[in-house]
Structure 1
Amino acid sequence: MEHPDYNSPLALKAFLDENGMAMQKKFGQNFLVNADARKKIIDCLDIDENSSVWEVGPGLGSMTDEILGRGAKLTAFEIDHGFARLVRQFFEIYSEKGKFELVEGDVLKTWKKYSDEHGAADRFFGNLPYNVAATIIADTINEGVRFEKAVVTIQKEVAQRMTAKEGSENYSSFSVLCQWAYNIKNIVDLAGGNFWPVPNVASRAVLMTKREDFPRCQNPKLFMKMLRQLFSSRRKTVRNNMLPLAGGEKTDQALEKAGIKGSVRAEDLSLDSLLKLSDALNELI
């Protein structure tokens, strides 16, 4: 089956009309119609014929085509049945060569089972639906799955949260989680006109490179649990947020050992301080 012109909104719309399909807002579907941007983004993924890649939300396959053209083995996760049907036809020759597989369904519900059965890829890519971007990034980290490199195009606001530093309004448990697991670098900002349909928000492509010094704490599960607890009520102090987790005596001992005042708030603590607090708490419980 012949691919549509991935750079032309008119051609994409005509192709969808001919196949009785339409973009579904509930899935956060937007196609990147800037060829130069697509190439630049995939260049950062640093792939060759020995690479394995997961792609979330291939749509009509513009990025899929770019990835497979570089020889990588690709598994794509697609929730839209219509797109899944077309993508299977577009890349049938790669499927026959064992280079392409499609997993249909909601990636938030399918990725873990697929990973357990087949193992994770060494690369991750997605023009991620804005409504699931933070969730899929956090879920993989929480489940202990980290990729050698991940390149995601996401809502700029989500990207800012990923790289936010302590004391800033965008700093959250998500910021800490991302920076704990990866070194994060901005690739390019993309205005709405780079996409079709044009989204109401600006986007940013981000490169995430696996940290070699991970996890830098004695008990990663406790660290993640503590992180969720500390940021559960942003207006509360660190001490008050920790009480349900460790009780008054152990909370005070852990804070003292880590050199942290109980009166500060979680958003004022750096990643290093949070890791110290986790280790102090781990030695007490």
Structure 2
Amino acid sequence: MAVLLVEAGTPLSDTPDDPPRLLGPAQIRTLAAEIGVRPTKTLGQNFVHDGNTVRRIVAESGVGPDDVVLEVGPGLGSLTLALLGAAGRVIAVEIDPVLAARLPATVEEFAPLQAPRFEVVTADALSVVRSDLPAAPTALVANLPYNVAVPVLLHLLAEIPTIATALVMVQAEVADRLAAGPGGRVYGVPSVKARYFGTVRRAGSVGRNVFWPEPKVESGLVRIDRTTTHSADPSVRNEVFRVIDAAFAQRRKTLRSALAGWAGSPVEAERRLRAAGIDPGLRGERLDVDGFVRLAATAHS
């Protein structure tokens, strides 16, 4: 994909309404020094300092003026500023109180016209629910903390059904797992659970050199477009997820054996599998999300 290079401190676009200026390496380090922030592995903090990368993320997300974007882990504001150049409103959730406190001033400085459309919520994204937010998000766009990326993504998709699309940057290995299809070596729990909410695809790769500090791993972009194929009822979803967890707890076992605990016995597991039209001799890695949904439904039959 052709991407326009954006120099640090230059506008995101050529529109005449003073679009946001983007942060470069110098601005990132200056901001961090000003508030005494040293990126920590505990919070999975790696700050993007490349304007080209944040512009690319925004483009891949497809957000526009009608969107309310939820950003998780905005850090020093690199992606936040780029999002404000495209979206109608941006709500950032930041767990670090020091970073959260500084973010509004950064937005005021680099995106003064867009500042009224920005809000920050100081909270752990793993515990955020819709009522914690000032508006209903239509999109999730984030450079997720790599140590909790999958739990955060699944939690937000479950708790905030108004999120229609998600474009997240995660560790490359995690991106591969999320986007993997049945039968693949890395197909597993994240792959199936993500597909419960919608279609999932890889949306590109991101090198290490666009971060400060530079991580030891490559990164990848994953896009999820929500569908209404599967029930939004939490009790239904939780039962499906229980089956998924059981099926992959011991990957090398057949579903007949792996699901014995969930079903109560190997005999009952086989009965449910056959009722769902699934070969009991298959392994979990061969079953798509629709198969797991059918299987979960047999728990009540």
- Give distance in 2, aligned partners of 1:5 and 1:76: 17
- Cα deviations across residues 226-278 of structure 1 (Å, max 9, x unaligned)? 22222223233312232222223542221122332323321222233323323
Q: Please give the secondary structure, in 2, of the residue aligned with 1:189.
A: strand
- Give distance in 1, aligned partners of 2:158 and 2:21: 38
Corresponding position: 1:241 with 2:236 = no
Match in the other structure for 1:179: 195
Corresponding position: 1:211 with 2:223 = no
Match in the other structure for 2:81: 65
Corresponding position: 1:193 with 2:180 = no
Shift of 1:192: 0.6
1:255 alignment partner, one of 273, 282, 289: 273
- Give distance in 2, aligned partners of 1:268 and 1:29: 36
Corresponding position: 1:268 with 2:286 = yes
Kept after mapping to 2: 8 A contact 1:4/1:12? no
Kept after mapping to 1: 8 A contact 2:104/2:115? no
Note closer, same or farther for the CA distance 1:19–1:225 as it changes in structure 2 (3 Å cut).
closer
Q: What is the RMSD of the two structures over their aligned residues, measured on CA atoms?
A: 2.8
- Give distance in 2, aligned partners of 1:259 and 1:233: 22
Match in the other structure for 1:15: 31
TM-score normalised to structure 1 length: 0.86
Q: Please give the secondary structure, in 2, of the residue aligned with 1:27.
A: coil
Note closer, same or farther for the CA distance 1:83–1:264 as it changes in structure 2 (3 Å cut).
same
Note closer, same or farther for the CA distance 1:20–1:245 as it changes in structure 2 (3 Å cut).
closer
Q: Which amino acid aligns with 1:237?
A: T
Kept after mapping to 2: 8 A contact 1:147/1:210? yes
1:148 alignment partner, one of 141, 164, 169: 164
- Give distance in 2, aligned partners of 1:137 and 1:25: 19
TM-score normalised to structure 2 length: 0.81
Kept after mapping to 1: 8 A contact 2:85/2:114? no
Match in the other structure for 2:15: none
- Give distance in 2, aligned partners of 1:170 and 1:29: 26
Long gaps (5+) in structure 2: 1-8, 10-19
In the alignment of these two chains, the number of paired residues is: 278
Kept after mapping to 1: 8 A contact 2:179/2:222? no
1:232 alignment partner, one of 249, 266, 282: 249
2:176 alignment partner, one of 160, 165, 179: 160
Shift of 1:175: 0.6
2:106 alignment partner, one of 90, 98, 115: 90
Shift of 1:146: 5.9
Kept after mapping to 1: 8 A contact 2:22/2:82? no
Q: Please give the secondary structure, in 1, of the residue aligned with 2:279.
A: coil
- Give distance in 2, aligned partners of 1:64 and 1:11: 14
Q: Percent same amino acid among aligned pairs?
A: 28
Match in the other structure for 2:239: 222
2:57 alignment partner, one of 37, 41, 51: 41
Match in the other structure for 2:123: 105
- Give distance in 1, aligned partners of 2:21 and 2:135: 33
Note closer, same or farther for the CA distance 1:71–1:145 as it changes in structure 2 (3 Å cut).
closer
Moved over 6 A (4+): 2-5
Corresponding position: 1:6 with 2:38 = no
Shift of 1:95: 8.9
Q: Which amino acid aligns with 2:177?
A: R
